[in-house]
């Protein structure tokens, strides 16, 4: 049985796992989580932040436990919350320290471990492992991991086996690479140990800052779990926690989160979600709730005759190149941004001031052919055309957007370029955040599937906002880079500087550097590994000190935080990526 990815018309069936008073998976709704930004040793601050999150609708709260001392203070936090009448489940976030995990497991409802660093030190060593050496490494991990499993089982608490792209162990990196496959294999190593000890109260996660990688990893995980269930039985249907790491802040952070989380929810994957924003943690909750509602309100996906793309790797659909007005579309050409004539007329007087957010195509002038993928005769006419056609789906279509375009791409020949729409109900009376999240979910997930040669955002009546959503979605999906790309972690108790203020300073100095990717990480846990494919990194190394990276290589150490942004600019200059910011006349 080869790996098969299935899109579920509803939620993917999963077993139920209890986390305190909250059950995950099974027939339960998708749960919303967040993580504290407060220092775990500051009991009052942690309690205050937790109460605020619970008030906002957060159902599970995670705290970092970087040391045994921090882990021990979880007892005080838990007891103070209970005294205040708050029993929201608490999760301890563990990196590098099995001893801290054992202490934390005495006091919390769930422990999150990262297989990439739970029992391994990250040295970026390159070496080959024989099968015997690899088996010996697994035995060593079992010795470190088994006591935690036994304690969790004894206390009846749950666990998240949470792999992060970029923080895989050297052992996994050298056998599988820094890939979705490596992420899945890393998690399954730990899951097999837990199952051998008859412990099943765990959930999986496969997080990445790149939505394409994140989507592929989760799809691969689900396909592997389905295959294991088929081959071995024994209930491999564990719940799934979704998240895009280091999504950033503002609209960009929301769009990137929507692309990754929204795409998977649309396929029925996900039992609990966390939106990671570089903002106060309470701001994450309404975004997560909105994404869950968008998924819950969506009509069931249509059945596809065949997947029109490989669900486990990215490749852009091989359409032909067409000349449309002054632009070429299709093939490997840039994905273009379209507007309706009425929208263009509203911004025509200020085109020069729109900068990088200009409309490029007017749909009424594109020779578009509207085709309902459920209309077999219309599909046949398009495929019988002697030349490629620029096609889209009419607003009268009664299918969900993602499913409709996947169905269209599976039925028409690849030579026909496709215009993507965010919705089939233009200018619907909804708020801007809903429009932004819905557009990012629909268009972004299709772009990550490799489908789409131009995009039209028509869910928001304001043309300027629609253009901004369109371009920022192209950037977040990684298909058209037109501005600086930031990977910023959401802050937590490990963070060694004020992430929001620091991110703002770095953006002020570098936001004109088109195509440069900068990672801003609060501590060594999120850097260098989880910076993934960033060009430059700004990483907290010690209180008041910053380390600077080129890729994953540290090049400058212990820079005073007051100087670090300037030194980052110097580093970008040294590597030939700096350009002077021009001032508009």
Q: What is the pLDDT of residue 584?
A: 46
424 and 357 within one domain: yes
489 and 347 within one domain: no
Nearest to 471 by CA among 341, 364, 346, 359: 359
Sign of the Cα pseudo-torsion (298, 300, 305, 310, in order): positive
182 and 43 within one domain: yes
Alpha-carbon gap, residue 101 to 157, rounded angstroms:
13
Q: What share of the chain is helix, strand, coil (3-state, %, to 5)?
A: 40, 15, 40
Residue 317: inside a domain, yes or no? no
Please list the pLDDT of the chain residue by residue as tens digits (585 residues).
478 888 777 889 999 999 999 999 999 999 999 999 999 999 999 999 999 999 999 999 999 999 999 999 999 999 999 999 999 999 999 988 899 999 999 999 999 999 988 876 555 565 677 888 888 888 999 999 999 999 999 999 999 999 988 788 888 888 888 889 999 999 999 999 999 999 999 999 999 888 999 999 999 999 999 999 989 888 999 999 999 987 677 888 999 999 999 999 999 999 999 999 878 899 999 999 999 999 998 888 898 998 999 999 999 999 999 999 999 999 999 999 999 999 999 999 999 888 889 999 999 999 999 999 999 999 999 999 999 999 999 999 999 999 999 999 999 999 999 999 999 999 876 788 899 999 999 999 999 999 999 999 999 888 999 999 999 999 999 999 888 877 766 656 566 567 778 888 988 889 888 888 888 876 666 555 566 578 888 888 777 888 888 887 888 888 888 888 999 998 999 998 898 887 543
Alpha-carbon gap, residue 464 to 204, rounded angstroms:
40
494 and 404 within one domain: no
Query: The tokens of 221 are what?
Result: 């995980």
Please state the domain count of the chain: 3
Whether 118 contacts 125, CB under 8 Å: no
Q: Which residues pair with 159 in a beta bridge?
A: 111, 202
Whether 149 contacts 194, CB under 8 Å: yes
Residue 260: inside a domain, yes or no? no
433 and 492 within one domain: no
Check which CATH number belongs to the domain holding 569 and give it: 3.30.413.10
106 and 231 within one domain: yes
Query: The tokens of 324 are what?
Result: 């449309």
Pick the last residue of a domain from 476, 501, 532.
Answer: 476
Residue 270: inside a domain, yes or no? no
Residue 301: inside a domain, yes or no? no
Tell me the three-class secondary structure of 384-442, residue by residue.
Answer: HCCCCCCEECCCCCCCCHHHHHHHHHHHCCCCCCEEEECCCCCCCCCCHHHHHHHHHHH
155 and 28 within one domain: yes
Residues 6+ apart with CB under 8 A from 8: 267, 268, 269, 301
Residue 247: inside a domain, yes or no? no
Neighbouring C-beta atoms of residue 354, cutoff 10 Å: 15
Cα dist. 71→45, 76, 82, 490, 493 in Å? 16, 10, 17, 21, 12
91 and 181 within one domain: yes
Pick the last residue of a domain from 431, 454, 476.
Answer: 476
504 and 388 within one domain: no
Alpha-carbon gap, residue 160 to 166, rounded angstroms:
18
Decide: helix, strand or coil at residue 219: helix
Pick the last residue of a domain from 226, 242, 258.
Answer: 242
Check which CATH number belongs to the domain holding 177 and give it: 3.20.20.20
Q: Where are the alpha helices (DSSP H) in 461-574?
A: 463-476, 499-510, 561-574
Residue 304: inside a domain, yes or no? no
Query: The tokens of 482 are what?
Result: 């037109």
Show the domain range for 407: 322-476
Q: What is the pLDDT of residue 209?
A: 85
Residues 6+ apart with CB under 8 A from 133: none
Q: Which residue has the tokens 């989507």?
A: 215
188 and 46 within one domain: yes
Residue 371: inside a domain, yes or no? yes
453 and 385 within one domain: yes
Residue 333: inside a domain, yes or no? yes
Q: What is the pLDDT of residue 193?
A: 96
Task: To the nearest 10°, report the CA torsion of 105, 205, 82, 102.
Answer: 10
Decide: helix, strand or coil at residue 111: strand
493 and 466 within one domain: no
């Amino acid at each position: 049985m080869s790996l098969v990815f299935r899109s579920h018309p509803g939620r993917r069936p999963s077993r139920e796992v209890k986390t305190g008073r909250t059950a995950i998976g099974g027939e339960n709704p998708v749960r919303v989580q967040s993580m504290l930004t407060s220092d775990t040793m500051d009991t009052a601050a942690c309690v205050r932040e937790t109460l605020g999150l619970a008030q906002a609708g957060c159902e599970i709260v995670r705290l970092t436990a970087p040391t045994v001392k921090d882990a021990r203070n979880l007892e005080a936090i838990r007891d103070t919350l209970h005294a205040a009448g708050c029993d929201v489940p608490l999760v301890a976030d563990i990196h590098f320290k099995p001893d801290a995990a054992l202490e934390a497991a005495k006091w919390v409802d769930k422990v999150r471990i990262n297989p990439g660093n739970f029992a391994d030190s990250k040295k970026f060593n390159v070496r080959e492992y024989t099968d015997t050496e690899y088996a010996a490494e697994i035995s060593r991990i079992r010795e470190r991991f088994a006591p935690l499993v036994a304690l969790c089982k004894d206390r009846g608490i749950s666990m998240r086996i949470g792999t992060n792209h970029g923080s895989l162990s050297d052992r996994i990196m050298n056998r599988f690479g820094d890939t979705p496959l490596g992420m899945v294999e890393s998690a399954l190593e730990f899951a097999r140990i837990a199952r051998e000890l008859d412990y099943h109260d765990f959930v999986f996660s496969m997080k990445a800052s790149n939505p394409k990688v994140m989507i592929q990893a989760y799809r691969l995980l689900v396909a592997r779990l389905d295959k294991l269930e088929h081959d071995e039985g024994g209930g491999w249907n564990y719940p799934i926690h979704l998240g895009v790491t280091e999504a950033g802040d503002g609209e960009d952070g929301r769009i990137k989160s929507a692309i990754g989380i929204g795409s998977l929810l649309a396929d029925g994957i996900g039992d609990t979600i966390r939106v990671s924003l570089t903002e106060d943690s309470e701001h994450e909750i309404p975004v997560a709730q909105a994404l869950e509602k968008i998924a819950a309100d969506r009509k069931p996906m249509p059945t596809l005759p065949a997947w029109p793309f490989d669900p486990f790797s990215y490749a852009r659909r091989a359409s032909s190149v067409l000349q449309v007005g002054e632009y070429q579309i299709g093939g490997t050409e840039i994905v273009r941004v379209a507007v309706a004539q009425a929208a263009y007329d509203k911004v025509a007087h200020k085109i020069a001031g729109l900068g990088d957010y200009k409309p490029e195509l007017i749909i009424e002038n594109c020779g578009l052919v509207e085709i309902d993928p459920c209309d077999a005769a219309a599909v046949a006419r398009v495929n019988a055309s002697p030349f490629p056609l620029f096609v889209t789906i009419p607003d009268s279509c009664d299918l969900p957007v993602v499913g409709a375009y996947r169905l269209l791409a599976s039925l028409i020949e690849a030579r026909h370029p496709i215009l993507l729409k965010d919705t089939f109900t233009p200018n619907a009376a909804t708020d801007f955040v809903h429009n932004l999240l819905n557009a990012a979910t629909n268009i972004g997930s299709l772009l990550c599937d490799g489908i789409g040669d131009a995009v039209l955002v028509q869910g928001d009546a304001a043309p300027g906002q629609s253009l901004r959503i369109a371009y920022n979605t192209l950037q977040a999906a990684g298909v058209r880079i037109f501005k600086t790309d930031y990977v910023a972690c959401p802050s937590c108790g490990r963070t060694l500087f004020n992430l929001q203020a620091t991110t703002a300073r770095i953006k002020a100095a570098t936001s004109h550097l088109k195509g440069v990717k900068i990672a801003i990480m609060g501590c060594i846990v999120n850097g260098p590994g989880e910076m993934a494919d960033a060009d430059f990194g700004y990483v907290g190394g010690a209180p008041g000190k910053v380390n600077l990276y080129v890729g994953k290589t540290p090049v400058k150490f212990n820079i005073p935080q007051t100087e670090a942004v300037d030194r980052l600019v110097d580093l970008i200059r040294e590597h030939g990526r700096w350009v002077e910011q021009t001032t508009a006349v």
